[in-house]
Amino acid sequence: MPLIPLKPVLDAARAHGYAQGAFNVNAVCQAKAAIEVHEMFRSPAILQGADLANAFMGGRADFANGTIEDKIRGAANIGAAVRRFAEASPVPVVLHLDHGHDLKSVIAAIDGGYTSVMIDGSALPFEENKELTREVVRYAHARGVSVEGELGVLAGVEDDVSSLTSTYTDPLAAVEFIRDTKVDALAISYGTMHGPAKGKDVKLRREIPTAIRECLLHAGIECALVSHGSSTVPAHLVEEINRLGGSVAGAHGIPVAELTAAIPAGISKINVDTDIRLAVTRNLRELFRSRPELMRSASVGAVGELIEQQPAQVDPRAFLPPIYPTVMRGEVPDEDVAAVVAAIEAGVKEAVGSLVVTFGSVGRAPLVERAGLAEMAERYEAAGL
């Protein structure tokens, strides 16, 4: 079926009391694996491409310095792949831009086939954040595309999103922000953190989403609440990476019990990236350790060399530029590349599958209304959104 916007997926999650995982992908094979595991569990699927991930998918290995041209190419690459997989899938699939920072990046994503976008103005003063977010909402809703905003600042590092400290979301400010911008979803700060080093025994301030939800109900406003920086960072993955020659220290995630307790408090979308990075990195290290002849492979040997040279690295994007045609277009020219792709896909399925179960979206695909972009654009216009 065609890709759908985010709003119908989150409407179902809110109505039925579960959370929808949203999983970041950085290669065609990762997108394929993520959709396949959602199909296995009959779950709706939200695939996310971060703003800089679009630059990486556009062929920019140093994606932190990606240009708008890189992002345009990358959005088209991942958009075409996800659209192709979604059309053959029985479950609803959303392609969502994670941490877009300006209207140009949002337009690049939408033109490339994204059906939902996040605009992150959280580092701006409140009124400027509202102004930027409202500008994106006007552009996106006219095309049937859902919009997620952000209010409050998460500590930690993810791509070019970085802060040393957190600023918790003010529930009353959140209601004003949602009312004035007309966003479909709002990412809030309530104790989660970006990156793999979240600290031990994190306790989430569930009273924040609870208060926002109650205030929204009182005001008669609908909006889904989103938990960013929510990777669980499984300890066994870190331990296995280190046994396989890695050197990962200080990696701790959000306890699973804290995340599941946040769902009845009002969280409907939970973003996960690091768990996938860890599972894929472990699998790649394991592959080259178990098959040392791949280090001499003309097609993937350079991937193994990059893994060996960066023991502390857990972001697979640092290892994959030698097989860029595979990353960007899904090309698998030989058995060695096929082995690398299989390792990547298995890592994605391991990380994503466990969280689909944890967050409660198993079997929920039939609950989601299959509303396309044109229909959603008409609804947004009729509602003055």
Q: In the structure encoding, which two tokens stand for residue 93, read together? A: 């699939």
Q: Which residues partner with 155 through β-bridges? A: 193
Q: In the structure encoding, which two tokens stand for residue 156, read together? A: 């930690």
Q: In the structure encoding, which two tokens stand for residue 320, read together? A: 């994959």
Q: Which residues partner with 269 through β-bridges? A: 20, 226
Strand order in the sheet with 155-158: 161-163, 155-158, 193-194
- CA pair distance 182, 134, nearest whole angstrom: 7
Residue 6, number of CB atoms within 10 A of its CB: 28
DSSP 75-127: HHHHHHHHHHHHHT-SS-EEEEEEEE-SHHHHHHHHHHT-SEEEE--TTS-HH
In a 13 Å sphere around the CA of 225, the CA atoms on its Cβ side amount to 30
Q: In the structure encoding, which two tokens stand for residue 291, read together? A: 């098959």
Q: What does DSSP assign to residue 168?
A: P
| Residue 224 CB contacts under 8 Å (≥ 6 apart), including other chains | 10, 11, 13, 14, 184, 185, 186, 268, 269
Do 146 and 6 meet the contact criterion of CB atoms below 8 Å apart? yes
- CA pair distance 326, 339, nearest whole angstrom: 12
Where in the sequence numbering do the catalytic residues fall? Answer: 98
Q: What does DSSP assign to residue 27?
A: S
